[in-house]
């Protein structure tokens, strides 16, 4: 005999504002099996939960329905409430009458009617619920951090600090990421390398951290607490254990015409290279696309000059398989390609550069040794125009609809640094809005205007026209003066929008972590769980989740580490008991379910059955490994005989819901 | 609004990870769609058995919509790929039997697409309302 | 052919290589043939038959009468051997306990076609050299064989045996055929016309379950429609919808597994062209996911337990089904 | 009256002026800028504010070359040139009648007028 309790929450006025909660409680009280029905202003409050607990005890309830907000909000809360009162926590169903009713309907009658239907649907389901018990699975005490920029470095350091093993995978030959390419940082104008490289060294020296540089994640299997990851260590053609990073090979290599990607192709380097002086690991790498030895077997100079004998032209990619309890995504960003913006002449003139390229041009380790020179003729630029929002807040196909967040500040930084070092240079900044929310950010921008005399122009550049004399004629609008202006510039700097790294999308697929339309990873909750992916055991660090500057990235990286540590500190995880199970009497052993199972949770056993005529028969039947099953239900539909069913979402439960809705 | 105005019964199956969250987001953003839509939460679009869809029609539903994660984004990696094949074939069969093909639909709605969820539901309810009551499946057996 | 088969069966029985033989057996009328299990040379001599009326697919019968501890000889027409292959793929029969002999089929006669021509009181039917002689209480008539050959044989998909231990006669080829023409004809109709067509057909269903019981793909231990715990069991139709549900779900359950043997339509006492439901799925699968013939080889992965990332979206149906 | 004009402009141009984020790229890119009293970004804003009369009475509407540079470069897809065109149409209609009647067209068309030009003219003025 079912004894179901119904609890209707007002959620203040969030629900009660458009749903007649009394009428809902009354109507649902009359549903078959319901023995108790009540409403309360805040069911999730302690008093509300006590109401539920008391009713469970007093009426000996066998199942409860809470009509409230989304189960994604408080299902866990009410399950705990039920458990505290001695009711199995899976005898709880939530009718979502807030997000899916009161908030979307304005008419009280309509919303009330719908709330009643949603309530009776949940009642129909809970009547068929069965008590479930969560099983336990162990946690592998090791974390994987994917991406070795400042986000990944900080997360790895914090996790290691708590005493857990961390593997840091970076696809480039060195960790450091974008921050290593930046010259100075706003709003303090610290030297980026000076604050980053000590952290890189910490990583290298920390016994708990293992760096897999020049490596990529190939395959991910498993689930929270127990992922199995294949990491591809790409061939460097240099034995990492032997190379001392002395750099003799890079000096002697005859192939000096290789584009220097660390300097964004603004200069060249040798085919065997160490990206920059403070690289970690400080090991040479051979660029197979340019090395004469690897391309046509003619050269071998580096091998001859290497005192350590580290060069190995026959080195192969290597696959490493490792178990992890948690995975952190810190794949970062790149500036977008500007091919769609012909009007800015980026592909036409070398003197039109992106802001990241300007960082390299101004950096002491950059192509000009820190002196700002025009890339075209290596002369000192006297007039520089900055264009903001290039591709940001742009709803056309070539741009990104979002604000890239960091451009206003780094443009102010660039303008200020140039005016500081070269006071004879006029600097113009075209802006749409100057966005400076952050500690000491607006003060910083105002200093650029007030102390350094940077000309800020409210408006946008319409066209950049390279002139025969090498100048760049910039035409733009000054909206405040309501005039069109022409500036004869020596250089134009474009604040290109930033986008998630291209490796993020395939990685998301491997991790089954969701992404938004811009390829930023989705967080489990936009406000309350910002560093976790909705996929359990996957955590988000840095710009892969959304645009952010260095201080924010570091803060998020540490927050992410805290979440990982919280997970790794557990010895066992309770697993979801809503998993598939097979009725052996019905199972045909046809293997359809096994083929659609993404986790390999289904195996087959030969089992002896008693037949009606007293004989026995051996049949092949499916068996589900509950620890591996994640409860998707693919098998239940693949099964023609209906042997396979899913706890918590059984065929009968779902059909009861369908019936209740259509009643 | 006239009393006799036809209000369709719509059953929406939403996967827990993307579409149900998308429906919640539509609510959080107060995006209106008709109350005729009632959502059933399933773990994944691949949990939806064609039986459930026929059952809904049998019990008087006028339209059934299945929402899942975008292909490639399935929380369980591959669930929606199977759902996609199953539903394509099922819908094709219903069409073959002469059942209005506008009564069934699959939409991929991510957790971030609250606005899309509301738009899809508005559109689907409009389409089904225009079709009117679902008689054909019930009538299919009774030659009049 | 029949005599060769009998001789070989007796030989295998005598040698002890097999202890049981599954074949066809003549009943009261020449044309009333049923699958049968033979366990002795005498039984074979007495009842065993293989002629133009041996339509029944022996795979399902084999599945129903299989024994693990002894070997059974099964004769398979090409059609039957596709079904057998599918059953082996799905682990529904034990390959080790079977000895399979492929036999050719030159098209089976559909007695219903003769009856539909108005022939009653049929006493005997003889098929000889392309002619079919019908002897009735009221007189005799001779048909050209193609006139009374069953639809499924006229549109034969293959005369090849995907599986056998031994072959009798010549091995045939996969055939060019027009079996999707009828489906295409329905598809070309307006939805209203299709609806009327199917309403006309399905209205005749009496839920005798013959289609399911004959179907070599319907081998569930317990059919969901018989299982009182499934939530959809139907002993008798409670409402007008139930047969529709039964036929749609049955077709869906065998989609990608149905070899198109045509038994469902052959056994239907109401002559509902049920094979047109299955062929719709087969045609759609071929069109959407690439040509696939169930039962072509052991271990194939069925289209519904498979996918590609580039699969068509379900709205292709709304868009008219053109790939 | 003004509201009707605004609606007419929004309808015939198909432009959503609310998408404008006031970046001024249209005016930064306009080759006729100096000739105009009201500039492309102002067209968008003034239509939003309903100040249609000022635009109609300004020679600016005939200074636009319809080069579509503003349409091409607008990051929000606002299409200012279509607004200008729609304002011109309002001005034409206020003058009472069409400049040309359909039956008069054959007389004014020269033999070597490309057919494509006629089609695009029809397309342009049919709204």
Rounded to a whole number of angstroms, the distance from the CA of A209 to the nearest CA of chain C is 37
Chain C residues inside the 8 Å CB shell of B90: 248, 252
**B3: pLDDT confidence band, cut at 50, 70 and 90?**
very low
Pick from B85, B90, B97: which is nearest to C198 by CB?
B97
Chain C residues inside the 8 Å CB shell of B138: 239-241
Q: Inspect the interface and report whether the beta carbons of A475 and D28 lie closer than 8 Å.
A: yes
CB C315 within 8 A of CB B89: no
Residue B51 sits at the chain C interface (C-beta within 8 Å): yes
Q: Find the helix packing angle between A108-126 and A651-662, rounded to 10°.
A: 150
Domain that holds residue C199: 178-323
Q: Inspect the interface and report whether the beta carbons of A588 and C219 lie closer than 8 Å.
A: yes
Rounded to a whole number of angstroms, the distance from the CA of B141 to the nearest CA of chain A is 21
Size of interface A-C (CB pairs under 8 A): 54
Chain A residues inside the 8 Å CB shell of D63: none
Q: Is A392 helix (H, G, I), strand (E, B) or coil?
A: coil
User: Do A488 and A349 belong to one domain?
Assistant: yes
User: Do A269 and A348 belong to one domain?
Assistant: no
| DSSP alpha helix (H) spans, D1-127 | 2-13, 25-29, 40-49, 52-56, 60-63, 69-73, 80-94, 105-108, 115-125
User: Do C208 and C121 belong to one domain?
Assistant: no
Q: Which two tokens stand for residue C241?
A: 């919808």
User: Do C121 and C217 belong to one domain?
Assistant: no
Neighbours of A498 (CB within 10 A): 25
**B2: pLDDT confidence band, cut at 50, 70 and 90?**
very low
User: Do A349 and A479 belong to one domain?
Assistant: yes
User: Do A417 and A546 belong to one domain?
Assistant: no
pLDDT of residue A379: 95
Residue B21 sits at the chain A interface (C-beta within 8 Å): yes
**All structural domains of chain D with their residue ranges:** 2-99
Pick from A534, A596, A662: which is nearest to B111 by CB?
A534
Q: Inspect the interface and report whether the beta carbons of B105 and C318 lie closer than 8 Å.
A: yes
- Give mean pLDDT, residues B17-38: 94
Chain B residues inside the 8 Å CB shell of C277: 93, 96
Nearest CA in chain B to A640: B49
**C68: pLDDT confidence band, cut at 50, 70 and 90?**
confident
Q: Inspect the interface and report whether the beta carbons of D24 and A477 lie closer than 8 Å.
A: yes
CATH of the domain at A391: 3.50.50.60
SS3 track for chain C: CHHHHHHHHHHHHHHCCCCEEEEEEECCCCCCEEEEEECCHHHHHHHEECCCCCCCCHHHHHHHCCCCCCCEEEEECHHHHHHHHHHHHCCCCCHHHEEEEECCCCCCECHHHHHHCCCCCEEEEEEECCEEEEEECCEEEEEEHHHHECHHHHCCCECCCCCCCEECCCCCCECCCCCCHHHHHHHCCCHHHHHHHHHHHHCCCCCCCHHHHHCCCCCCCCCCCCCCCCCCCCCCCCCCCHHHHHHHHHHHHHCCCCCCCCHHHHHCCCCCCCHHHHHHHHHHHHHHHCCCCCCCCCCCCCHHHCCCCCCCCCHHHHCCCCC
- Give mean pLDDT, residues B22-41: 95
pLDDT of residue B144: 38
Nearest CA in chain D to A390: D75
pLDDT of residue C238: 57
Residues A155-199 pLDDT 10s: 999 999 999 999 999 999 999 999 999 999 999 999 999 999 999
Rounded to a whole number of angstroms, the distance from the CA of C83 to the nearest CA of chain B is 22
Residues A89-140 pLDDT 10s: 999 999 999 999 999 999 999 999 999 999 999 999 999 999 999 888 889 9
Q: How far apart are CA A325 and CA A226, in angstroms?
A: 5
User: Do A447 and A338 belong to one domain?
Assistant: yes
Chain C residues inside the 8 Å CB shell of A586: 220-222, 227
Chain C residues inside the 8 Å CB shell of A592: 90, 302, 304-305
Domain that holds residue A548: 142-234+317-332+501-568
Q: Is A412 helix (H, G, I), strand (E, B) or coil?
A: helix
User: Do C30 and C162 belong to one domain?
Assistant: yes
Residues A295-304 pLDDT 10s: 999 999 999 9
User: Do A342 and A484 belong to one domain?
Assistant: yes
User: Do A416 and A450 belong to one domain?
Assistant: yes
Q: How far apart are the first and last CA of chain D?
A: 19
Lowest mean pLDDT among A364-373, A441-450, A523-532: A523-532
Chains near C with 3+ CB pairs less than 8 A apart are: A, B
Q: Can you give the pTM of this predicted structure?
A: 0.69
- Residue from A641, A643, A645, A653 whose CB has the most chain C CBs within 10 Å, to mutate: A641
User: Do A342 and A461 belong to one domain?
Assistant: yes
Chain B residues inside the 8 Å CB shell of A512: 74-77
Chain C 264-283, residues with CB within 8 Å of chain B CB atoms: 277, 280-281
Q: How far apart are CA A146 and CA A148, in angstroms?
A: 7
Pick from B20, B21, B112: which is nearest to A516 by CB?
B112
CB A520 within 8 A of CB A427: no
Residues A589-616 pLDDT 10s: 999 999 998 877 888 999 988 888 888 8
Does any domain span residue A662? no
Q: Inspect the interface and report whether the beta carbons of D39 and A476 lie closer than 8 Å.
A: no
- Give mean pLDDT, residues A73-102: 95
pLDDT at C237 over 70: no
User: Do C93 and C161 belong to one domain?
Assistant: yes
Count: domains in chain A: 5
- Give mean pLDDT, residues B86-109: 93
Residues A533-578 pLDDT 10s: 878 899 999 999 999 999 999 999 999 999 999 999 999 988 889 9
The angle formed by the CA atoms of residues A584, A585 and A590, to the nearest 5 degrees, is 65
Chain B 10-39, residues with CB within 8 Å of chain C CB atoms: none
Q: Could you tell me which residues come within 8 angstroms of residue A82 by beta carbon, excluding any fewer than 6 positions away?
A: A52, A56, A64, A88, A89, A91, A92
Residues A305-349 pLDDT 10s: 999 999 999 999 999 999 999 999 999 999 999 999 999 999 999
User: Do A480 and A350 belong to one domain?
Assistant: yes
- Residue from D21, D28, D34, D76 whose CB has the most chain A CBs within 10 Å, to mutate: D28
| More confident of the two residues C194 and A525 | C194
How long, in residues, is chain A? 663
Rounded to a whole number of angstroms, the distance from the CA of A456 to the nearest CA of chain C is 49
CATH of the domain at A606: 3.30.70.3270
**D1: pLDDT confidence band, cut at 50, 70 and 90?**
very low
Residues A423-453 pLDDT 10s: 999 999 999 999 999 999 999 999 999 999 9
Residue B78 sits at the chain C interface (C-beta within 8 Å): yes
Q: Which two tokens stand for residue A577?
A: 């008991």
pLDDT of residue C106: 86
Chain B residues inside the 8 Å CB shell of A634: 44, 46-47, 76, 78-79, 82
Give me the residue label for tokens 């490309």. Answer: D114
Rounded to a whole number of angstroms, the distance from the CA of D31 to the nearest CA of chain A is 10
User: Do C59 and C119 belong to one domain?
Assistant: no
User: Do C301 and C190 belong to one domain?
Assistant: yes
pLDDT at C227 over 80: yes
Q: Inspect the interface and report whether the beta carbons of C232 and B102 lie closer than 8 Å.
A: no
ipTM for this model: 0.78
pLDDT at A526 over 80: no
User: Do C138 and C250 belong to one domain?
Assistant: no
Q: Inspect the interface and report whether the beta carbons of A658 and B118 lie closer than 8 Å.
A: no
CA C208 to chain centre: 17
**C204: pLDDT confidence band, cut at 50, 70 and 90?**
confident
pLDDT at B143 over 50: no
User: Do A614 and A638 belong to one domain?
Assistant: yes
User: Do A107 and A147 belong to one domain?
Assistant: no
- Average pLDDT along chain C: 89
Nearest CA in chain D to A480: D24
Chain A residues inside the 8 Å CB shell of D21: 393, 432
- Give mean pLDDT, residues A466-492: 96
User: Do C20 and C119 belong to one domain?
Assistant: no
CA C285 to chain centre: 19
CATH code of the domain occupying D2-99: 1.10.1060.10
Domains in chain B, CATH or no CATH each? 10-139 (3.40.50)
Neighbours of A107 (CB within 10 A): 12
- Average pLDDT along chain A: 94
User: Do A183 and A226 belong to one domain?
Assistant: yes
Widest pairwise Cα distance in chain D:
47
pLDDT of residue C14: 92
Count: domains in chain C: 3
Lowest mean pLDDT among A471-475, B83-87, D66-70, D110-114: D110-114
Neighbours of A482 (CB within 10 A): 14
Q: Inspect the interface and report whether the beta carbons of A588 and C220 lie closer than 8 Å.
A: yes
pLDDT of residue B1: 42
User: Do C226 and C280 belong to one domain?
Assistant: yes
User: Do C96 and C224 belong to one domain?
Assistant: no
User: Do C286 and C321 belong to one domain?
Assistant: yes
Write b or e for each residue in A519-550: b if 16 or more Cβ atoms lie within 10 A of its Cβ, otherwise e. bbbbbbeeeeebbbbbbbbbbbbbbbbbbbbb
Rounded to a whole number of angstroms, the distance from the CA of A596 to the nearest CA of chain C is 6
Q: Which two tokens stand for residue A463?
A: 């066209």
Residue C187 sits at the chain B interface (C-beta within 8 Å): yes
């Amino acid at each position: 005999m079912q004894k179901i309790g119904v609890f209707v929450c007002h959620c203040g006025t969030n629900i009660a504002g458009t749903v007649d909660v009394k009428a809902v409680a009354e109507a649902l009280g009359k549903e078959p099996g319901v023995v108790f029905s009540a409403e309360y202003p805040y069911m999730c409050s302690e008093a509300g939960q006590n109401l539920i607990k008391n009713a469970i005890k007093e009426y000996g309830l066998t199942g409860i329905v809470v009509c409230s907000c989304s189960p994604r909000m408080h299902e866990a809360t009410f399950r705990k409430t039920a458990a505290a009162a001695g009711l199995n926590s899976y005898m709880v169903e939530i009718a979502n009458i807030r997000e899916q009713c009161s908030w979307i309907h304005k008419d009280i009658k309509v919303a009330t009617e719908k709330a009643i239907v949603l309530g009776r649907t949940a009642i129909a389901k809970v009547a068929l619920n069965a008590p479930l018990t969560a099983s336990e699975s162990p946690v592998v005490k090791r974390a994987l951090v994917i991406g070795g920029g400042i986000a990944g470095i900080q997360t790895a350091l914090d996790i290691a600090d708590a005493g857990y093993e961390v593997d840091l995978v970076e696809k480039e030959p060195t960790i450091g990421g974008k921050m290593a390419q930046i010259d100075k940082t706003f709003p303090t104008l610290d030297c980026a390398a000076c604050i980053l490289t000590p952290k890189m060294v910490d990583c290298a020296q920390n016994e708990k951290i293992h760096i897999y540089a020049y490596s990529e994640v190939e395959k991910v299997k498993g689930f929270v607490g127990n992922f199995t990851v294949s990491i591809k260590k790409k061939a460097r053609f240099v034995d990492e254990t032997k190379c001392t990073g002395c750099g003799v090979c890079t000096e002697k290599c005859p192939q000096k015409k290789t584009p220097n990607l660390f300097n964004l192709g603004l200069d060249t380097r040798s085919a065997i290279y160490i990206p920059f002086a403070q690289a970690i690991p400080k090991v040479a790498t051979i660029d197979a696309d340019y090395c004469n030895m690897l391309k046509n077997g003619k050269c071998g100079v580096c091998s001859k000059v290497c005192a350590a004998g580290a060069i190995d032209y026959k080195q192969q990619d290597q696959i490493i398989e490792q178990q992890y309890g948690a995975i952190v995504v810190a794949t970062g960003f790149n500036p977008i390609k500007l091919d769609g913006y012909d009007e800015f002449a980026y592909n036409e003139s070398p003197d039109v550069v992106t802001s990241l390229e300007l960082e390299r041009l101004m950096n002491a380790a950059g192509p000009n040794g820190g002196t700002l020179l025009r890339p075209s003729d290596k002369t000192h630029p006297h007039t520089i125009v900055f264009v903001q929002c290039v591709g940001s807040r742009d709803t056309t196909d070539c741009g990104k609809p979002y604000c890239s967040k960091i451009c206003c500040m780094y443009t102010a930084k660039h303008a200020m640094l140039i005016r500081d070092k070269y006071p004879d240079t006029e600097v113009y900044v075209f802006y749409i809005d100057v966005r400076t929310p952050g500690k000491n950010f607006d003060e910083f921008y105002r200093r650029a205007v007030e102390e350094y005399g940077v000309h800020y122009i409210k408006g946008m550049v319409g066209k950049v026209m390279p002139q025969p004399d090498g100048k760049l004629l910039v035409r733009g609008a000054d909206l405040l003066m309501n005039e069109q202006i022409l500036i004869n510039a020596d250089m134009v700097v474009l604040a290109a929008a930033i986008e998630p790294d291209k490796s993020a999308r395939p990685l998301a697929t491997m991790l089954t972590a969701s992404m938004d339309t811009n390829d930023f990873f989705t967080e489990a909750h936009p406000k309350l769980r910002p560093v976790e992916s909705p996929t359990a055991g996957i955590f988000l660090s840095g710009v892969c989740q959304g645009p952010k500057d260095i201080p924010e990235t570091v803060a998020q990286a540490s927050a992410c580490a805290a979440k990982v540590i919280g997970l790794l500190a557990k010895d066992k995880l309770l697993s979801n008991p809503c998993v598939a199970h097979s009725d052996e009497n019905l199972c045909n052993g046809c293997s359809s379910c096994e083929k659609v199972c993404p986790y390999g949770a289904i195996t087959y056993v030969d089992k002896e059955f008693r037949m009606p005529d007293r004989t026995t028969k051996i049949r092949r039947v499916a068996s589900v490994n509950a620890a591996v099953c994640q409860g998707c239900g693919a098998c239940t539909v693949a099964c023609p005989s209906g042997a396979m069913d899913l706890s918590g979402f059984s065929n009968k439960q779902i059909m009861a819901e369908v019936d209740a809705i259509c009643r | 609004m006239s009393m006799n105005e036809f209000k369709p019964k719509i059953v929406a199956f939403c996967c827990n990870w993307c579409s149900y969250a998308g429906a919640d987001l539509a609510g959080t953003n107060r995006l209106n769609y008709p109350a005729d839509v009632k959502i059933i939460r399933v773990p994944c679009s691949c949990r939806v058995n064609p039986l459930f869809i026929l059952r809904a029609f049998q019990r008087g539903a006028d339209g059934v919509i299945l929402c899942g994660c975008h292909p490639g984004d399935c929380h369980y990696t591959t669930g929606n790929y199977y759902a996609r094949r199953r539903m394509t074939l099922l819908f094709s069969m219903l069409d073959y039997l002469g059942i209005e093909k506008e009564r069934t639909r699959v939409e991929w709605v991510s957790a971030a697409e609250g606005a899309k969820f509301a738009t899809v539901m508005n559109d689907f309810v409009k389409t089904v309302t225009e079709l009117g009551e679902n008689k054909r499946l019930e009538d299919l057996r009774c030659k009049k | 052919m029949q005599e060769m088969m009998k001789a070989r069966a007796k030989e295998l029985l005598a040698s002890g290589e097999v202890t049981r033989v599954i074949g066809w057996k003549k009943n009261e009328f020449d044309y009333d043939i049923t699958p049968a299990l033979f366990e002795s040379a005498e039984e074979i001599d007495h009842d065993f038959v293989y002629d133009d009326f041996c339509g029944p697919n022996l795979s399902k019968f084999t599945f129903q009468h299989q024994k693990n501890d002894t070997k059974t000889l099964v004769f398979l027409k090409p059609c039957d051997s596709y079904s057998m292959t599918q059953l082996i793929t799905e682990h529904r029969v034990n390959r080790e306990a079977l000895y399979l002999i492929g036999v050719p089929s030159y098209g089976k006669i559909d007695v219903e076609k003769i009856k539909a021509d108005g022939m009653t009181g049929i006493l005997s039917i003889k098929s000889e050299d392309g002619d079919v002689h019908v002897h009735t209480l009221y007189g005799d008539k001779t048909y050209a064989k193609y006139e009374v050959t069953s639809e499924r044989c006229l549109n034969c998909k293959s005369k090849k045996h995907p599986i056998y231990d031994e072959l009798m006669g010549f091995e045939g080829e996969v055939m060019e055929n027009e079996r999707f023409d009828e489906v295409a004809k329905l598809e070309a109709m307006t939805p209203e016309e299709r609806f009327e067509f199917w309403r006309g057909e399905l209205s005749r269903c009496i839920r005798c379950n013959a289609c399911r019981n004959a179907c070599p793909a319907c081998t569930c231990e317990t059919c969901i429609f018989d299982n009182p715990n499934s939530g959809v069991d139907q002993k008798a139709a409670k409402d007008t919808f139930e047969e529709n549900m039964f036929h749609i779900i049955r077709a869906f359950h065998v989609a990608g597994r149905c070899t198109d043997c045509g038994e469902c339509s052959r056994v239907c006492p109401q002559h509902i062209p049920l094979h047109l439901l299955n062929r719709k799925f087969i045609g759609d699968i071929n069109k959407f996911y690439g040509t696939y013939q169930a039962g072509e080889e052991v271990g194939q992965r069925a289209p519904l337990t498979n996918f590609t990332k580039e699969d068509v979206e379900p709205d292709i149906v709304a868009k008219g089904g053109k790939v | 009256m003004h509201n009707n004009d605004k609606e007419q402009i929004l309808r015939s141009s198909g432009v959503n002026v609310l998408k404008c984020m006031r970046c001024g790229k249209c005016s930064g890119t306009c080759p006729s800028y100096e000739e105009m009293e009201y500039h492309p970004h102002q067209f968008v804003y003034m239509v939003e504010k309903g100040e249609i009369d000022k635009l109609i009475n300004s020679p600016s509407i005939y200074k636009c070359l319809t080069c579509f540079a503003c349409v091409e470069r607008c990051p929000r897809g606002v299409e200012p040139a279509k607004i200008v065109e729609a304002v011109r149409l309002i001005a034409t209609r206020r003058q009472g009648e069409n400049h040309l009647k359909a039956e008069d067209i054959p007389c004014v068309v020269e033999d070597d007028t490309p057919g494509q030009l006629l089609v695009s003219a029809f397309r342009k003025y049919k709204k």
